[in-house]
A and B are shown apart, each in its own frame.
Chain A
């Protein structure tokens, strides 16, 4: 690739990075970190229009089981010994001590 063309493309990439990082920070500031910035396959960052769902959409949110619990509840408990129904692990039929 010619150096001049390469320089132009690197400049374009850096320009994109800059606009993206700036928009990201602006969005975080304007939403105070509470409102979602990515919704149902559309990106909407303040000041930058990237509403091209077909190309940019993050297809299909993986809501997993039971809404909200998502994988966080699935994976979150794996390291723990959370026996179902408490005391379910007793081998002799006795109840867990309080």
Chain B
């Protein structure tokens, strides 16, 4: 690499390190980084001051804007979690998570990809209703995945001719199935509706209504709920599933052959044997019509 290009690369890396370094609690750029390096000296080395701002102040603008952008994206992606935890706890979680798991992707779409795993290691951030909060995180991430994951060509009638019990049916990459303990799908829809209508009502009233929705769901006794999160005509949908449907889809998603998937899904089902063929015919017809099977 030539010398000017090498210098530019060095400056770019130093700039990125400064901009992506976490802010202080007061949301300012720290004077000293976590490794002890001085941001004051670093700013002087790579940024020119002008007649209004020092080098440090100019660099701080980028540092703050970078983090504000991450915060905004994270809040947009997890409004349900914010409604459950409340503003203060959500902020603490967001800052701790983004500090531990900084953005590493070209797209901020992936910002929350490690949240569920991170929360497994940091359950203290899940608040007084950890299962409810955890359910919501899983649903909100599934929503993001369903929104923009690939859609493959749908299964053709010709391809079906070769399907037998040993066939592995492939499902669309945007399809996610979830086993949950609370009806967080209803709650998330209410929260999103509130957020969407907040322009026409006061923030306080909207927040109060969201709290009421959360309290209502949090008061419910946990019970198994199964859900498919999928995309249809560029909208994300939540489709309730029976335990048998969930078992079938989970087995197919895991790559089990059709015959084995049916065995697994119906092994402990209370569904009478004489009703099982009709059940299978119906659910496979519905899923095929939704375009869930792919080549």
Chain A interface residues toward B at CB < 8 A: 1, 5-25, 27, 36-38, 43, 45, 48, 50, 56-66, 70-72, 74-75, 78-79, 89, 91-93
**Is the Cβ of A12 less than 8 Å from the Cβ of B289?**
no
A57–B73 Cα distance when bound, in Å, is 30
Residue pairs across A and B with CB atoms within 8 Å: the count is 177
**Is the Cβ of B160 less than 8 Å from the Cβ of A38?**
no
B contact residues around A13 at 8 Å (CB): 258, 262, 280-281, 284
In the complex, which residues 129-187 of chain B have their Cβ closer than 8 Å to any Cβ of chain A? Answer: 143-144, 147-148, 154-157, 160, 163-165, 169, 185-186
A68–B238 Cα distance when bound, in Å, is 18
7 A-B pairs in the complex with CB atoms less than 8 angstroms apart: A6-B259, A16-B280, A24-B291, A43-B289, A61-B235, A70-B235, A78-B73
**Is the Cβ of A9 less than 8 Å from the Cβ of B156?**
no
Q: Is the interface of B mostly helix, strand, loop or mixed?
A: helix
Answer yes or no: B209 CB below 8 A from chain A CBs: no
Min distance, Cβ A82 to any Cβ of chain B, angstroms: 10
**Among A6, A61, A91, which residue has its beta carbon within 8 angstroms of that of B237?**
A61
A20–B291 Cα distance when bound, in Å, is 9
Count chain A CB atoms within 10 A of each CB in B53, B144, B154, B290 and give the residue with the most.
Answer: B290
B contact residues around A9 at 8 Å (CB): 262, 266, 276-277, 280
**Is the Cβ of B76 less than 8 Å from the Cβ of A19?**
no
**Is the Cβ of A17 less than 8 Å from the Cβ of B185?**
no
**Is the Cβ of B157 less than 8 Å from the Cβ of A18?**
yes
Min distance, Cβ B276 to any Cβ of chain A, angstroms: 6
A contact residues around B185 at 8 Å (CB): 59-60
Q: How many residues of B contact A (CB 8 A)?
A: 65
**Is the Cβ of A16 less than 8 Å from the Cβ of B76?**
no
A37–B48 Cα distance when bound, in Å, is 59
**Is the Cβ of A20 less than 8 Å from the Cβ of B238?**
no
Chain B interface residues toward A at CB < 8 A: 50, 52-53, 58, 61-62, 65, 73, 76, 106-109, 143-144, 147-148, 154-157, 160, 163-165, 169, 185-186, 188-189, 192, 195-196, 230, 232-240, 258-259, 262-263, 266, 273, 276-278, 280-291, 293
Min distance, Cβ A46 to any Cβ of chain B, angstroms: 11
**Is the Cβ of A24 less than 8 Å from the Cβ of B108?**
no
**Is the Cβ of A45 less than 8 Å from the Cβ of B289?**
yes
A50–B177 Cα distance when bound, in Å, is 21
**Is the Cβ of A5 less than 8 Å from the Cβ of B286?**
no
A79–B196 Cα distance when bound, in Å, is 23
**Among A48, A72, A92, which residue has its beta carbon within 8 angstroms of that of B53?**
A92
Min distance, Cβ B118 to any Cβ of chain A, angstroms: 20
